[in-house]
A and B are shown apart, each in its own frame.
Chain A
């Protein structure tokens, strides 16, 4: 009898434990799904707020009606979009209403300026504090995981809040409100990418090189790896353009280089190694980069920017049009140079291989005074080729404009019809 009782008690205990762990595991999965959903909504709202701030900033750049049209439209559109995002967040209704009204006024204000009901000067005056409010909220909602590995602290609070409100411990009903993701949600439609540069690479007309020739070409480009252990594989048959993948290993250095099969053009090169704490000077780095570009045969380029980080500099070069010295950004090359000794750590020349076809274009003088707000100062002007909305390369005035509170902008204005092609805020 005792044995039977013992077996029954043990069985009940085992069943209870199994049930407990099953429920626990299900709860964890649901909690994670909910956290992912909230993280997505919050981060997405944060990204949209940053976009909105950028659009608001652009409405402060110009006084010209045509130049203002697009940024004002963007403010109206994005503010409406964010209102939808905010309404789905589990924040207090009071906070939600305050922000929804604020964004509503902002969107309406942009529409009124566009329709000529409110003077642009008044709008620009009001936007000085608005942009700061928007950026502050964007920062607050950005994706973050504090305390090493814990879920986003705001998201955790949201999840807890939802749990408390429901007063449930097993998350059963919450499971219905969280989308149950299945295999069917996996994106099934993947068309061929339509990036122009990739199409260009498919059309290289050079003759194919062999694996041995690829190795020779690699050693010619990077002679310091002539004794490295090299392993070469060919791209898969389905690859949009054929290339050789060269993996190399020499002492503390390990990396890869991709070369096109047609012509053996270098696509990219990257190596990893430990770093010393020493730092070469900026001038030494520039001299080294010029030397690398010459050795690699990229002599028709100009250094357009460089950024120093903890272990390396990242440099960007653009091809220069031999007729008018205009920069052709689409034919760009990037280098990565080690800070400790100036060694070439990376090269990306994928965009440079097939050069853009540049047509002739009229240059009509630009009236900066009528175009820009009076509190923006034009510091530099030169010519550059950039893409318009129809993905055509257009010759543009590259104008560097600054304002003490809004920041510095690089604006590209079509030389022929004076359309604003791009306005990029610079860090």
Chain B
């Protein structure tokens, strides 16, 4: 009888331990970083998922600490009597982890698959996955530009200048942006890029090549204001240019294989 009791207690202990171990991987804690508006990454994903779990955050879980996350965090801090500063510090993290849950595996799987999903508590997770969302670059941009702009310009930069130095790639992106501001050119990214014979990469189909991270980073710098061309609106490769006219443009500087002109 004692043996049976012993076995039963051991079994119960094992089951309890297993359930604890099994639950652990789904409840991840934050790193030591203090997060605030402008932050990006896995900690922000966890913050958004936890805030959504308890109903404070209703927007997309994308790892970008924008205003939606900021207001949600402030509302959470207000409700739980924490200092309302919109910062994810130690006390707020502790409270948030205590009152919410986070299924890291589920959240990251959906993000990697590009699915549109939510992470509300008390709702079956399977029912919270919707169709594929629009393609995302996972980059934080100045408010006046969209991810669609970055995507299209990165394709153009990669198609036009992937063999150029980094400065030369930022420069090509800057020329596209300078054209949008210039009265002689169209006013949108797509119209500038697809303007007839404006870019070789469009004419020969290289615009559809998938850009690498370097090209995207170069575009990101241009969108943030860098312009190594000092306001150029044209560029050409002197070894391959066939147009006589392009030589008549006032030249500004040479970067890599390209001469940039006003």
Contact = CB atoms under 8 A, between A and B. Distances in A.
B167 A308 contact: no
A17 B188 CA distance: 44
A288 interface: no
B184 to A, nearest CB: 6
Contact of B64 (A183, A346, A402, A427): A427
Interface residues of B, number: 81
B67 A427 contact: yes
Contact of A407 (B68, B227, B230): B68
Interface string A313-331: 1101000000000000000
A32 B205 contact: yes
Interface string A397-427: 0000010100110100000000000001111
A407 B48 CA distance: 16
B34 to A, nearest CB: 6
Contacts of B181: 193, 195
Interface string B160-203: 00000111001000000010011111001111001111100011
Given A143-B155, A407-B67, A408-B67, A39 B194 contact: yes
B190 A336 contact: no
Nearest to A286: B36
Given A195-B181, A236-B251, A238-B250, A311 B38 contact: no
A237 B138 CA distance: 41
Contacts of A350: 225, 227
Interface stretch (A60-68, A252-260, A365-373, A381-389): A252-260
A193 B182 contact: yes
B197 A185 contact: yes
A47 B188 contact: yes
A371 B61 CA distance: 33
Given A143-B190, A152-B208, A181-B196, A245 B253 contact: yes
Nearest to B140: A307
Contacts of A149: 208-210
A308 B262 contact: no
Interface stretch (A88-96, A220-228, A265-273, A290-298): A265-273
Contacts of A35: 205, 208
A151 interface: yes
Contacts of B261: 238
B231 interface: yes
Interface in B113-140: 133-135, 138-140
Given A192-B262, A254-B166, 4 more contacts: A39-B194, A268-B227, A270-B167, A308-B140
Interface of B: 33-36, 38-41, 58, 64-68, 71, 133-135, 138-144, 146, 148, 151-152, 155, 165-167, 170, 178, 181-185, 188-191, 194-198, 202-205, 207-210, 213, 217, 220-221, 224-228, 230-231, 233-234, 243, 245, 249-255, 261-262
